[in-house]
Amino acid sequence: MEEILATARTLGKQMAQHARTQAFTDAARAVAADPDAQTILRRYQEHKEKVMSAEMQGTAIDAGERRRLSELESQMASNAALNNMIRRQADYVEMMQQVQAAIDEEMER
C-alpha cells in the first residue's frame, strides 16, 4: 500500500507542476482577484442552482428564467478573466480525464 501511495504522491507533484494545472490555478486566482468576475460567477451559480432545482422538482421553467440564465452565460463569456478560467479549466479537466483513462487501462490488464 505504501508503494502505491508514494507513486500517487509523485504523480500528484508532477501534475501540480504541469503547465495545464499551473494555467488553471493562475486563471482561478485571477477570477478571485476580480470583483466583477466574482459577482458574475456568483449570480450565474445561484441562478443555475435555482433552475436546476426547479427542473429536478418538475417545476416548469419560464422563458424569463431561461433568458436570465442565457444573459448570465453571455456575461461570463464577455468577462476576460472568467473566459480564460473556463478555457483553462477545460484543458485541466481534459488532462485529468487522460490520466484517469491511463490508470483505468492499466487496471484492466
Q: What's the pLDDT tens digit per position in 67-83? A: 999 999 999 999 999 99
pTM: 0.81
Q: What is the mean pLDDT of residues 26-48?
A: 96
Going by pLDDT thresholds of 50, 70 and 90, the confidence category of residue 2 is very high
**Structural domains in the chain plus CATH codes:** 12-107 (1.20.1500.10)
Q: How many CA atoms lie within 13 A of 14 on its CB side?
A: 9
| CA–CA gap between residue 45 and residue 105 (Å, rounded) | 35
Give the pLDDT confidence score for residue 89 in this predicted structure.
98
